[in-house]
């Protein structure tokens, strides 16, 4: 729970505030960009909600915050807003909410599918979210993009009898995983679901392509709000930037309209535009990789 005594001075005056326990995970800025912004190594309130819709978005951000760093000066309606999660994106794809500090506030997603529902990476394990997943039909598979974002996947797997999917190189993060991905070749494990290994951020990082439209990208790829383009991070590449560049280039073989990342902004673009943006990113990454090699 946020502490008014730790309120950051960069917040504008008003009901909502962010305190100094913020870890700058960006979740609130994704959910309510009109309310929250970046200030140094924190998120802060740069405009107070002025409509019911804006207040609801701010309360969603409050609930999603992994460290409970967002608060209000008076009692709020957060309990009523809890049932907004998982938050519908499109075509049976949802953002789970309730980001976990175990994955540094990484996003998790839920896919409702007639052959069994999927959880992509893991949110906090909370009774309210467990109930909502149960109402939506439970969880048959849990796809884990890489070791950083497993959070409470084991608890969800035990609760719903789910099968966890992870690359063998990441197995130490979820040693009880039931389905393992090997090597670097794409694998269509089930109809509509294609796993594409993307080593780079970590050795066994993978992305998941759903119905050739939705790409769940973990920490491999996201939309950068500042420059309004697809982006990746050399600074937070734990295994090999050169490998990540190669992995990014291989994604050009696939068509998709949505980038749904673990960290960073999601984006929906026409496939032709997405391909153009991806090509530009690969070019930028290649220049950086060439500079490192030489």
201 and 288 co-located in one domain: yes
22 and 167 co-located in one domain: no
In this prediction, residue 293 carries a pLDDT of 44
Beta strand pairing call for 179-181 and 163-167: parallel
Last residue of a domain, one of 41, 74, 107: 74
> Is residue 139 within 8 Å of residue 132, measured between CB atoms?
no
Does residue 79 belong to any structural domain of this protein? no
For the stretch 154-167, pLDDT in tens is: 999 999 999 999 99
In this prediction, residue 85 carries a pLDDT of 98
- Averaged over 20-34, what is the pLDDT? 97
pLDDT band, residue 289 (cuts 50/70/90): low
Closest CA to 253 of 209, 201, 199: 209
24 and 133 co-located in one domain: no
pLDDT band, residue 133 (cuts 50/70/90): very high
For the stretch 191-240, pLDDT in tens is: 999 999 999 999 999 999 999 999 999 999 999 999 999 999 999 999 99
67 and 93 co-located in one domain: no
Nearby residues of 271 by Cβ (< 8 Å), 6 or more positions away = 255, 256, 257
The CATH number assigned to the domain holding 95 equals 3.60.15.10
101 and 190 co-located in one domain: yes
* Cα end-to-end distance, the chain, whole Å: 49
pLDDT band, residue 1 (cuts 50/70/90): confident
31 and 124 co-located in one domain: no
pLDDT band, residue 123 (cuts 50/70/90): very high
Look up the domain containing 19 and give its range. 4-74
183 and 237 co-located in one domain: yes
- Averaged over 73-89, what is the pLDDT? 96
Count of structural domains within the chain? 2
Closest CA to 262 of 160, 116, 150: 150
d(CA 294, CA 291): 5
For the stretch 252-270, pLDDT in tens is: 999 999 999 999 999 999 9
- Averaged over 55-73, what is the pLDDT? 98
For the stretch 268-283, pLDDT in tens is: 999 999 999 999 999 9
Inform me whether the pLDDT recorded for 56 exceeds 50. Answer: yes
14 and 51 co-located in one domain: yes
Last residue of a domain, one of 56, 74, 92: 74
The pTM score is 0.96
In this prediction, residue 87 carries a pLDDT of 98
């Amino acid at each position: 729970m946020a502490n008014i005594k730790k309120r950051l001075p960069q917040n504008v005056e008003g009901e909502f505030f962010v305190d100094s326990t913020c870890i700058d995970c960006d979740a609130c800025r994704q959910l309510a960009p009109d309310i929250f912004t970046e200030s140094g190594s924190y998120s802060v309130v740069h405009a107070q909600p002025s409509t019911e819709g804006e207040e609801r978005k701010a309360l969603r951000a409050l609930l999603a915050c992994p460290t409970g760093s967002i608060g209000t000066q008076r009692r709020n309606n957060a309990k009523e807003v809890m049932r907004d999660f998982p938050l519908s994106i499109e075509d049976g794809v949802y953002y789970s909410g309730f980001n976990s500090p175990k994955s540094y506030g990484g996003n998790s997603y839920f896919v409702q599918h007639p052959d069994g529902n999927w959880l992509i990476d893991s949110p906090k394990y909370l009774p309210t979210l467990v109930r909502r997943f149960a109402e939506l039909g439970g969880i048959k598979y849990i796809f884990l993009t890489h070791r950083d974002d497993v959070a409470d996947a084991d608890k969800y797997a035990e609760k719903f009898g789910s099968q966890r999917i992870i690359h063998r190189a990441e197995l130490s993060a979820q040693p009880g995983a039931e389905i393992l991905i090997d090597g670097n070749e794409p694998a269509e494990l089930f109809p509509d679901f294609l796993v594409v290994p993307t080593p780079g951020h970590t050795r066994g990082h993978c992305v998941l392509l759903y119905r050739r439209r939705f790409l769940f990208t973990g920490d491999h790829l996201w939309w950068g709000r500042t420059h309004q383009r697809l982006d990746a991070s050399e600074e937070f590449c734990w295994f090999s930037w050169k490998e990540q560049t190669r992995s990014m280039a291989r994604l050009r073989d696939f068509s998709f309209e949505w980038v749904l990342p673990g960290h960073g902004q999601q984006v929906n673009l026409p496939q032709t535009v997405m391909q153009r943006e991806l090509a530009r990113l690969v070019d930028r990454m290649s220049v950086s990789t060439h500079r490192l090699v030489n």
